[in-house]
């Protein structure tokens, strides 16, 4: 680290800045708001540390307990080096300095953050430099993931409610892709949310609901199937209770429809940005990588060419490489759980999808299973292998070539 290090303890209203020198002496403190004027004041404090033509405030790293947000974005837009430090790490440093003192203050935390960079700056990485397109793609994919989780939450709520008031609707679309996510399922349930109202539906009403949902094939057969299913005798609640529960079902159906529309809209927007990125052909050349999977991979890995020096580092960041715990005579090789959770989850589905899209990936998975790996462990190793190929392709600007992987053995002639 240089002659000075800085720390910022941020909050919703006021932020505390502290600057220390190489000896840990506090040179400057300042409290500012997260406004354009406040940012200029904080940068002026850093610029006034030394009256020298060879000094630049951009050489002063700033530690903060956040990796994104308006304050972080503003500092980076002004060329300031930002080093994110996890709040748990800060708490442990606080206890290391004085284990028995539980005193805490915003100004003290800012000084502590600056001292963390002063003493252990080499152990903390500054934020990588992604392009604006990659940052926007990251915002969209994370929003889409939150929307997908909200959609799943409403789906589970709807299924639970239907079991209490309309059990036939739970099984009506269970054999079809999407189940209750299907537009036709939501349309029919909104029309008749209870067993009693569904039993009174006519074939023409069901057919019209299917048409409104966008279905065009086998309308009469599907209407006949649902009509027969809904007329089967089922357990019923008292009429007033059934009506009340039906209103709750209708409300949940509306929430589910909105969540589905939001998740689909965000996925489409992410795909549009992904296509515009220069690395799009490289990601799409890999087996099992669609628009959404590729968008998530690019968003979490970023496009900074200096972020991952080796493929092992990229795999460790994704949780695809094990780590060794050794103490005395004990030595264990365990699954790495500290990782980018979003990237690890995406990698699991990516590796699984390649089993039916790439003979080479399937052969590698089968070899790992034959060696004793469980299903999840074999997929994790396959994900690490794919990341190794991806790292090479991104480094050299090449598209994926399946011939680089060992070919699966050919079956013996009959």
322 found inside a domain: yes
For residue 237, which phi and psi values (nearest 5 degrees)?
-85, 165
Tokens encoding 8:
């910022």
Q: Are residues 293 and 329 in the same domain?
A: yes
Taking Cα atoms as reference points, which of 130, 10, 139 lies closest to residue 62?
10
Rounded to whole angstroms, how far apart are CA atoms 171 and 149? 23
What is the band of 407 on the pLDDT scale with cuts at 50, 70, 90? Answer: low
Q: Are residues 179 and 232 in the same domain?
A: yes
251 found inside a domain: yes
Residue 54 maps to which CATH number?
3.30.420.40
Rounded to whole angstroms, how far apart are CA atoms 145 and 141? 6
Rounded to whole angstroms, how far apart are CA atoms 66 and 139? 15
Among 104, 127, 150, residue at a domain's last position: 127
Q: What is the mean pLDDT of residues 293-321?
A: 90
How many structural domains does the chain have?
3
Rounded to whole angstroms, how far apart are CA atoms 150 and 158? 12
b/e burial code for range 128-163 (CB count within 10 A of at least 16 → b): eebeebbbbbbebbbbbbebbebbeebbebbeebbe
State the residue range of the domain holding 179: 136-273
Q: Are residues 68 and 123 in the same domain?
A: yes
Mapped onto helix, strand or coil, the DSSP state of residue 8 is strand
> What 8-state DSSP symbol labels residue 59?
G
Q: Are residues 174 and 261 in the same domain?
A: yes
Rounded to whole angstroms, how far apart are CA atoms 268 and 266? 5
pLDDT in tens, 338-367: 888 999 999 999 999 999 988 889 999 999
Q: Are residues 146 and 239 in the same domain?
A: yes
Residues 279, 303: contact at Cβ < 8 Å? Answer: yes
Q: What is the pLDDT of residue 337?
A: 77
pLDDT in tens, 68-120: 889 999 999 988 999 999 888 888 888 776 666 667 788 888 999 999 999 88
Q: Are residues 227 and 142 in the same domain?
A: yes
Half-sphere exposure of 289 (CA within 13 A, CB side): 23
Q: What is the pLDDT of residue 89?
A: 87
Mapped onto helix, strand or coil, the DSSP state of residue 108 is helix
pLDDT of 51 strictly over 80: no
Q: Are residues 141 and 95 in the same domain?
A: no
């Amino acid at each position: 680290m240089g002659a000075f290090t800085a720390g910022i303890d941020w909050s919703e209203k006021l932020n505390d800045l502290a600057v220390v020198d190489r000896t840990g002496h506090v040179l400057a403190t300042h409290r500012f708001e997260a406004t354009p004027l406040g940012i200029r004041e904080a940068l002026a404090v850093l610029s006034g540390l030394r009256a020298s033509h060879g000094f630049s405030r951009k050489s002063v790293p700033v530690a903060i307990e956040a990796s994104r947000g308006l304050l972080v974005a503003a500092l980076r837009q002004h060329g300031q080096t930002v080093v994110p430090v996890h709040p748990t790490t800060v708490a442990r440093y606080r206890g290391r300095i004085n284990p028995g003192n539980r005193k805490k203050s915003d100004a003290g935390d800012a000084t502590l953050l600056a001292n963390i960079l002063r003493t252990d700056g080499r152990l903390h990485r500054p934020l990588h430099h992604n392009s604006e397109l990659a940052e926007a793609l990251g915002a969209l994919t994370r929003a889409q993931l939150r929307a997908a989780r909200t959609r799943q939450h409403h789906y589970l709520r709807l299924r639970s409610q239907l079991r209490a008031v309309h059990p036939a609707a739970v099984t009506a679309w269970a054999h079809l892709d999407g189940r209750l996510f299907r537009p036709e399922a939501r349309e029919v349930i909104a029309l008749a949310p209870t067993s009693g109202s569904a039993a009174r539906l006519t074939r023409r009403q069901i057919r019209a609901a299917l048409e409104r949902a966008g279905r065009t094939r086998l309308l009469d057969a599907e209407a006949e199937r649902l009509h027969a299913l809904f007329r089967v005798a089922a357990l019923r609640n008292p009429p007033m209770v059934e009506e009340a529960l039906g209103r709750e079902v209708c409300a949940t159906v509306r929430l589910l429809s909105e969540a589905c529309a939001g998740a689909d809209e965000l996925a489409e927007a992410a795909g549009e940005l992904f296509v515009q990125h220069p690395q799009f052909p490289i990601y799409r050349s890999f087996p099992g990588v669609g628009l959404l999977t590729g968008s998530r991979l690019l968003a979490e890995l970023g496009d900074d060419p200096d972020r991952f020096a080796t493929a092992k580092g990229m795999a460790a960041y994704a949780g695809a490489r094990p780590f060794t715990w050794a103490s005395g005579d004990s030595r264990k090789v365990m699954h790495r759980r500290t990782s980018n959770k979003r990237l690890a989850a995406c990698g699991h589905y990516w590796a699984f999808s390649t089993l039916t899209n790439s003979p080479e990936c399937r052969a590698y998975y089968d070899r790992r299973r034959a060696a004793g790996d469980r299903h999840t462990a074999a997929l994790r190793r396959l994900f690490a292998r794919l990341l190794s190929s991806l790292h090479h392709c991104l480094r050299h600007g090449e598209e994926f070539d399946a011939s680089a992987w060992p070919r699966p053995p050919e079956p013996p002639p009959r």
